[in-house]
Amino acid sequence: MHSKIALLDVDGVLADFIEHYLEIVNECFDTEHAASAITSYDVDECLGLSEDERHTVNREILNLDFARNLSVLPGAVAGFRKLATVCTPVFCTSVLKSNYTWTYDRSAWLDEHLGDGWGREVIYTKLKHLSRGRMFVDDMPYHVEKWMKWNPEGIGVLWKQPYNKNHCPEGAVLTNDWDVLKGLMTDGK
């Protein structure tokens, strides 16, 4: 166990939320939306979903083990393992409020893909900025910016995705390279 803590979001950093969400949308409405259509963090807005369509998708998510069936982003497992050699990773993630089994499914997903035990190293909260660590990694600019304000000595990292790369908070590191994360935890800012 290392004394330095890296707080990691799961969706958009390790797990491919967008891909699975689009599969459900495309099944519900017989569409062919692709990930390239997602140009901002609000997926529903990018797809032009009405309020009724959003409710339909949320009902489908309720019927599925959504968080347990997400794909792993390329390089995430190997990158995570490298990072874990220099710090203690702790997952800091939000709960999809429309899905009652989210926390169970998320913990099971972490255990399945990263190894038994990682599913217990999770902080479930919308108030991510209140979590303490040396580094905070998230794909949502808002969370990174707010965390950095509350943790001025820490390292805020916006995990680069097509939908956020133009919205990096000032002072944050923009990357989707696990070696960069490892270096930040080894060398500091």
Q: Provide the 10 A C-beta neighbour count for residue 92.
A: 28
Residue 34 vs residue 189, higher pLDDT: 34
Q: Provide the 10 A C-beta neighbour count for residue 115.
A: 13
For residue 174, pLDDT beyond 70 = yes
For residue 41, pLDDT beyond 90 = no
What is the pLDDT at residue 100? 80
What is the pLDDT at residue 1? 61
For residue 189, pLDDT beyond 60 = no
Percent of the chain that is helix, strand, coil (3-state, to 5): 45, 15, 40
Per the DSSP assignment, residues forming a β-bridge with 6 are 89, 135
* Banded model confidence at residue 65, pLDDT cuts 50, 70, 90: confident
What is the pLDDT at residue 61? 84
* Banded model confidence at residue 160, pLDDT cuts 50, 70, 90: very high
> At the fourth CATH level, which superfamily is domain 5-16+69-187?
HAD superfamily/HAD-like (3.40.50.1000)
Structural domain boundaries in the chain: 5-16+69-187, 17-65
The proportion of the chain whose per-residue pLDDT surpasses 90, expressed as a percent, equals 82
* Banded model confidence at residue 125, pLDDT cuts 50, 70, 90: very high
Report the pLDDT averaged over residues 78-97. 94
For residue 187, pLDDT beyond 90 = no
Pairwise CA distance, residues 15 & 26, whole Å: 19
Report the pLDDT averaged over residues 173-187. 96
What is the pLDDT at residue 57? 92
| Structure confidence by residue, pLDDT tens digits, 111-123 | 999 997 999 999 9
Pairwise CA distance, residues 159 & 135, whole Å: 12
The answer to whether the beta carbons of residues 128 and 139 sit under 8 Å apart is: no
Q: Provide the 10 A C-beta neighbour count for residue 71.
A: 14
| Structure confidence by residue, pLDDT tens digits, 102-113 | 899 999 999 999
pTM listed for this prediction: 0.93
Round the average pLDDT of the chain to a whole number and report it. 93
Smallest CA-to-CA distance from 130 within 154, 166, 165 is with 154
Report the pLDDT averaged over residues 54-62. 88
